[in-house]
Structure 1
Amino acid sequence: MDFTDVSLVALRVFREVAERGTFTAAATALGYTQSAVSRQIASIERAAQAPLLERRREGVRLTPAGQVVLRTAARVLDQLDTTARELAGLPAEAGKVRLGWFPSAGAVLVPKAISALRRNHPALEVTSREGSTPALVRALRAGSVDLALLASAPPFRPADAESPAFQLQVMVERALCLAVPAGHPLAGGEAIDFAELRGQRWIAGPASGEDKLMGVWPGLDERPEIAHTARDWLAKLHLVAAGAGITTVPPSLAGAAPAGVRILPVHGGPQELRRIVVARLPGPVATPVAQLIDALRTAAAVAG
């Protein structure tokens, strides 16, 4: 096993493939052809004398050897980036944290936390990105984000099965609510009875492997009528305001609901809990990371 001839380009390509999950997505992000990506991966696998990626129909998965190489690649590339900044006379990035977050967190939770940090720790720089849970988990493994804010549903399984296991901190646990038009028959009280959900028109996210029909109340004993599909939470809430249907929401979105929308709990039937958790790789927690975690915890407690 000889890594002396492994190029920095190969390391960057390998980290990009690990984060993006497919050769095609990595090639697009890097501006390379897919064959060029394949050649770089082949070169680093020759040096490792072992397969680093399992090729599957839905994408790639790191082998145990690939996990070891990825951890090393992330450290090397981050150190080189730091060295380049120092040589260019740029300030060190000790006060910078990279955050990934699930889609609805960007409506209230993440802005509240960043606003608090700007007041209390103005020197701390936070950069962030939205992503699906699989994408954020890959970014954590690849060292592209320092923290990932994830939404978790029962039975609250680990974010992935890789090693080392993530360190998880629960920010808040709350039951799902329903967003209904203010003039809707369900909007008259302070809660909605589960039995009243039969026969409703729903606004849901596109079905996918990770979130099937997000927006429809789980556990309904009928085939739901999906009137509209939308990925964007703000679009869903405005469709609700327009009287186009109803949709499930986390309680934290109550502060982002437009006029004409009521956010109400559901009584009776199965209670649908959701957790907001912060995930990170194990190891010492730098002060800027701890400050961001504290701000997220406070924002989650206030937003619900």
Structure 2
Amino acid sequence: MGGRLFVRSSSGVVPTSLGERLVPMLTELVQRADLVVVEAAAHASKVFRFGNSEWTPPSLHSALRSSLPSTEVQTETLSPTAAVDAVRRGWLSAALVPCMSLVEPDDTSGPALDTAVIVREPVWLAVPRGHPLSGEPAVETHHLTSLSWVCYARDHWFQPIEKQLFTRFPRADPEVLHYVDGHHEAMSWVRDAHAAALTTPTGATSDVSLVPITGTESTEMVMVWRSGSVARGTLSRLVETVRSYYCAYARTIPRYWAWMREHPADFPELLGHLRAA
């Protein structure tokens, strides 16, 4: 490099004036070398690795395999933040994550990410079967203040959405029985402890009742991948496959599917599927 970059002594390591100029450039070079290794590995791999949050049904794995018949498909369930990080590092080919804010890069020196909104999913109320509210066509937030709740842990992706909806309650401190780390745990508390929970309709289980909430919040389900890492034809097929799968899954939730058919403007990305159904 034409000179010393550091001076080492018993008190530590101090950069020289040359080191102060060159080290930032070398750091960028190392980062780009890592990207080269990741890109080469992705190009050579015939495995498509897809990440999903909360839980990944076998039927989603099968749908992805059918859309990519000449490629080995592997699926992995992990948190939205971990999934986006794995996509950015090249460990995952693509991922389906909730909340658009999760894919905003913290480090602009990293690889760029592209996204496609799969669906904007509303937040509904989950109550035990036979609950007085279960037969209502929809409920207002002031109807919910007397309920006992199961809420989401503060580091769970759904917690900010839940918190935003709770600010509309007349009562600022609803009774909370337990804090959960996922939708399925929340639904078990709804069923077994006769609690109430907020959930996306596809996050509920068949042994609870779902009720729409007037003026509710919603969350975007977003597919994310590294820019230029997925062929355009494959990408188009993949997005369509995930949207089609979402509609097929929504059909297994009769009240939600009927709601989607009655409110197609709330689901612009799925209009083609709703019209064809």
Deviation at 1:194, TM superposition (A): 1.5
Whether 1:98 aligns to 2:43 is no
Distance 1:241 1:214, change over 3 A: farther
Contact kept? 2:61, 2:75, Cα under 8 Å: no
Aligned partner of 1:283: which letter? Answer: G
Contact kept? 1:173, 1:276, Cα under 8 Å: yes
Greater C-alpha Rg: 2
Identity %: 24
Distance 1:295 1:78, change over 3 A: closer
Whether 1:258 aligns to 2:258 is no
Aligned partner of 1:234: which letter? Answer: H
Unaligned runs of 5+ in 1: 2-47, 53-62, 83-92
Distance 1:142 1:235, change over 3 A: same
Deviating more after overlay: 280-289 vs 230-239 = 280-289
Whether 1:273 aligns to 2:218 is yes
Distance 1:252 1:148, change over 3 A: same
Cα distance in 2, alignment partners of residues 252 and 209 from structure 1 = 17
Deviation at 1:168, TM superposition (A): 0.8
TM-score norm. by structure 2 comes to 0.68
Give the match for residue 196 of structure 2: 246
Deviation at 1:212, TM superposition (A): 3.3
Cα distance in 1, alignment partners of residues 146 and 28 from structure 2 = 49
Give the match for residue 150 of structure 1: 97
* RMSD, matched Cα: 3.3
Task: Count the aligned residue pairs.
Answer: 226
Q: Give the 5 Å matches for 1:104-253.
A: 106=55, 111-119=58-66, 121-152=68-99, 158-163=103-108, 164-208=111-155, 210-212=157-159, 217-219=165-167, 220-221=169-170, 222-253=172-203
Unaligned runs of 5+ in 2: 2-21, 251-277
Cα distance in 2, alignment partners of residues 182 and 263 from structure 1 = 9
Q: Give the 5 Å matches for 1:35-54.
A: 49-50=23-24
Q: Which ranges of 4 or more aligned residues in structure 1 deviate by more than 4 Å?
A: 63-67, 76-79, 118-123, 213-217, 287-290
Deviation at 1:141, TM superposition (A): 1.4
Deviation at 1:160, TM superposition (A): 2.2
Give the match for residue 41 of structure 1: none
TM-score norm. by structure 1 comes to 0.63
Distance 1:236 1:157, change over 3 A: closer
Task: Provide, for residues 93-124 of structure 1, a one-character-per-residue CA deviation record: whole Å limited to 9, x for no partner.
Answer: 53x21111121xx255xx44323344565443
Give the match for residue 34 of structure 2: 70
DSSP 3-state at the match of 1:242: helix
Give the match for residue 303 of structure 1: 249
Cα distance in 2, alignment partners of residues 64 and 224 from structure 1 = 50
Contact kept? 1:203, 1:215, Cα under 8 Å: no
Give the match for residue 230 of structure 2: 285
Contact kept? 2:103, 2:224, Cα under 8 Å: no
Task: Provide, for residues 254-276 of structure 1, a one-character-per-residue CA deviation record: whole Å limited to 9, x for no partner.
Answer: 5xx133x1111101xx4201110
Cα distance in 2, alignment partners of residues 209 and 174 from structure 1 = 17
Cα distance in 1, alignment partners of residues 67 and 212 from structure 2 = 34
Cα distance in 2, alignment partners of residues 300 and 211 from structure 1 = 19
